[in-house]
């Protein structure tokens, strides 16, 4: 706290990201990064971008990247927004679409950045409890609201909501914006982007940080009706004209174009997830069914915080949340088979 802070800054309760340790010999299974590298074609495209052109500003509209996203999903570029990581895209969504008279709805257990954005932008919100199996109940969202947002698969549980259920949520609230945060959809779900042509209130966000292994590049996207995209553009152009730099435009577009690498690496993560889930169940853990690149697991007899501390002593980091209802769970990002084995050995 300092006398120079504005009163508003004193009220903020910022998000705390997972640890990025300075030690390099740790097995990092704590921030849902992809253990396989980015597409070699994306790396080549980025390397080619490093040169004299960097003295020039990037395309403020990121047209090349939008084109690659639009081609991948069979939508128009007017339906695509891109930003500096999906966190920034989400921030603009909260700012531009969720400041309404009725409360925003999101699950009690979900991405812990949502309440932070509500604090930043003064958005009234209500938490909707997941059921006993940690699932989203469609009926719970069928009530007056100023917007709805949920991750699918949910984070940090990894649980998937069927596309038909996502559609019913959008159908039930035609007068508010329903945002599906699909950061992890490529590891086992069907994207709701297939529905945006039919639901003008449906907006889908994704990230290149997970299934395209570009967390360090910071690229996120939103796909929806051009009117929703225009709102995001208005916010973006009132905040930062160039959130996506030249390297990110080139690398992001090439990553979308390299379907073979995308399919091969996400399948490897899915296979490892199933293998690790089995190994943990064999050791007595309860593992929630995951459609993401992480699993959410608890042991009936061992304290989660203690397990996290003990495996860290052995060089493996996993994520533990102190939050009610989930304080006995560990969120474990899927690593390579060798990294997963290191966790099993540490356990």
Residues making contact with ligand PMP (CB under 6 A): 85-87, 111, 151, 155, 181, 183, 207, 209, 215, 220
Q: How far apart are CA 216 and CA 131, in angstroms?
A: 35
Pick between residue 111 and residue 256 the one whose CB is nearest to ligand PMP. 111
Minimal distance, residue 207 CB to ligand PMP, in Å: 3
Locus of tokens 């309760």? 13
Closest CA to 209 of 198, 217, 221, 201: 217
Pick between residue 154 and residue 173 the one whose CB is nearest to ligand PMP. 154
Q: How many other C-beta atoms lie within 10 A of the C-beta of residue 22? A: 6
Pick between residue 220 and residue 243 the one whose CB is nearest to ligand PMP. 220
- The tally of CA atoms less than 13 A away on the side-chain side of residue 155 is 23
Q: How far apart are CA 273 and CA 160, in angstroms?
A: 15
Minimal distance, residue 186 CB to ligand PMP, in Å: 13
Q: Which residues pair with 316 in a beta bridge?
A: 27
Minimal distance, residue 294 CB to ligand PMP, in Å: 9
Pick between residue 122 and residue 216 the one whose CB is nearest to ligand PMP. 216
Instruction: Calculate the alpha carbon distances from 294 to 51, 114, 184, 198 in Å.
Output: 37, 20, 9, 31
Q: How far apart are CA 71 and CA 49, in angstroms?
A: 22
Pick between residue 49 and residue 87 the one whose CB is nearest to ligand PMP. 87
Pick between residue 145 and residue 209 the one whose CB is nearest to ligand PMP. 209
Minimal distance, residue 20 CB to ligand PMP, in Å: 12
- The tally of CA atoms less than 13 A away on the side-chain side of residue 98 is 30
Contact 220, 208 (CB under 8 A): yes
Pick between residue 299 and residue 317 the one whose CB is nearest to ligand PMP. 317
Instruction: Calculate the alpha carbon distances from 9 to 2, 3, 4, 12, 120 in Å.
Output: 10, 11, 10, 5, 9
Pick between residue 232 and residue 299 the one whose CB is nearest to ligand PMP. 232
Closest CA to 84 of 236, 223, 192: 236
Contact 336, 35 (CB under 8 A): yes
Minimal distance, residue 220 CB to ligand PMP, in Å: 4
Minimal distance, residue 144 CB to ligand PMP, in Å: 25
Pick between residue 49 and residue 181 the one whose CB is nearest to ligand PMP. 181
Minimal distance, residue 89 CB to ligand PMP, in Å: 7
Contact 252, 82 (CB under 8 A): yes
Minimal distance, residue 209 CB to ligand PMP, in Å: 3
Sign of CA dihedral 237, 186, 209, 15: positive
Closest CA to 208 of 41, 111, 87, 336: 87
Minimal distance, residue 111 CB to ligand PMP, in Å: 4
């Amino acid at each position: 706290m300092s006398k120079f802070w504005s009163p508003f800054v004193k009220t903020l309760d910022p998000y705390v990201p997972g640890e990025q340790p300075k030690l390099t010999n740790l097995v990092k299974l704590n921030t849902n990064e992809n253990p396989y590298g980015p597409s070699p074609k994306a790396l080549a495209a980025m390397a080619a971008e490093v040169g004299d052109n960097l003295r020039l500003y990037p395309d403020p509209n990121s047209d090349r990247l939008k084109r690659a996203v639009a081609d991948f999903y069979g939508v128009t570029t007017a339906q695509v927004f891109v930003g500096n990581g999906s966190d920034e895209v989400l921030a603009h969504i909260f700012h531009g679409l969720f400041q309404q008279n009725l409360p925003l709805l999101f699950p009690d257990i979900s991405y812990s950045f949502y309440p932070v954005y509500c604090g930043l932008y003064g958005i009234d919100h209500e938490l909707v409890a997941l059921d006993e199996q940690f699932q989203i109940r469609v009926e719970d969202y069928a009530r007056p609201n100023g917007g709805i947002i949920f991750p699918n698969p949910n984070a940090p549980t990894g649980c998937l909501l069927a596309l038909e259920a996502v559609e019913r949520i959008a159908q039930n609230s035609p007068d508010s914006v329903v945002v599906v945060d699909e950061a992890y959809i490529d590891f086992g779900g069907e994207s709701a982007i297939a529905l945006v042509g039919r639901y003008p209130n449906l907006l889908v966000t994704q990230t290149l940080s997970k299934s395209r292994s570009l967390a360090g590049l910071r690229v996120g996207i939103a796909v929806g009706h051009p009117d929703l995209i225009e709102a995001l553009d208005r916010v973006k152009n009132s905040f930062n004209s160039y959130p996506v730099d030249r390297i990110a435009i080139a690398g992001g577009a090439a990553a979308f174009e390299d379907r073979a690498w995308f399919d091969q690496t996400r399948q490897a993560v899915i296979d490892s997830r199933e293998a690790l889930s089995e190994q943990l169940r064999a050791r007595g853990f309860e593992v929630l069914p995951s459609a993401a690149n992480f699993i959410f697991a608890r042991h009936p007899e061992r304290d989660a915080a203690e397990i996290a501390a003990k495996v860290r002593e052995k060089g493996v980091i996993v994520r533990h949340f102190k939050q009610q209802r989930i304080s006995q769970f560990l969120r474990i990002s899927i690593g390579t088979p060798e990294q997963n084995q290191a966790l099993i050995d540490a356990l």
